[in-house]
Amino acid sequence: MIIAIDGPAASGKGTIAKRIAAHYGLAYLDTGTLYRAVARDTLARGGDPADAIEALKSAKALDPRTLGDPRLRKPGLGEAASLVAKHPEVRNELLAYQRSFARAKSGAVLDGRDIGTVICPEADVKLFVTATPEERARRRYIELKGGGIDLSEAEVLCDIRRRDERDKHRAAAPLRQAPDAHLLDTTNLDIDAAFRAAIDLIDAAMGRAGYAG
């Protein structure tokens, strides 16, 4: 079973995806970490993430064993990862790894921005997880404040909107809901309620498909 979960930043898709993977006993990949790792390695070499040639060098040399690096969760790296993700050459370089992961014997849950549309268009179930920009900014602001990052909620909202615009309008694999994806709006849901709603959607979809495991 392959479950594809897409959505914008701070929609809750990553937390939901991890819990879904644990619930069904599936392998899990946060594909955003791939782009964060490429951004990390590009910056470490003194390169510019906005430079396609520099970013591609990092993508070609990427070591998947470093995807657990805690530095990948640093807030500032998200912006650099968003710049890296614009490059078609980088996305193509990382495509094979993501598709190979999706074919894991156990089945897999992948989350990102183009899983249901590009990486795994044949996924058994697709979810598109979203929330209003204001609610996503509120969540991210609380997260950053807890980590000691001094930004106003207005600044976080501005960053969220900028990333949404970039992700939706990039030429390569823009963020969009696949036609057969189930929409899950988490604006008014806490994480437990969002997880239960996701499981209900998946179970219903698999039941309609006659999936037996």
What does the pLDDT look like over 21-67, one tens digit per residue? 999 999 999 999 999 999 999 999 999 999 999 999 999 999 999 99
Q: Which domain covers residue 108, as residue numbers?
A: 2-208
Distance CA 74, CA 36 (A): 9
**According to the model, what pLDDT value does residue 78 have?**
86
Which of 83, 162, 85 is closest to 119 using CA atoms?
Answer: 85
Instruction: With respect to residue 213, please indicate whether it lies within any of the assigned structural domains.
Output: no
Instruction: With respect to residue 154, please indicate whether it lies within any of the assigned structural domains.
Output: yes
Q: pTM for the complete prediction?
A: 0.91
Instruction: With respect to residue 131, please indicate whether it lies within any of the assigned structural domains.
Output: yes
Instruction: With respect to residue 81, please indicate whether it lies within any of the assigned structural domains.
Output: yes
- For tokens 């657990």, name the residue: 68
SS3 185: strand
- At 191, give phi and psi (nearest 5°): -65, -35
If one counts the domains in the chain, the total is: 1
**According to the model, what pLDDT value does residue 210 have?**
64
Q: Which tokens is 100 given?
A: 């190979």
- Please, how many CA atoms are within 13 Å of residue 192, restricted to the half-sphere of its CB? 0
Count of all residues that appear for the chain in the document: 213
Which of 116, 46, 54, 113 is closest to 87 using CA atoms?
Answer: 54
Q: How does the average pLDDT of the chain come out, rounded?
A: 94
Task: Report the CATH number that the domain containing residue 81 is assigned in CATH.
Answer: 3.40.50.300
pLDDT tens for residues 138-194?
A: 999 998 888 888 889 999 999 999 999 999 999 889 999 999 999 999 999 999 999
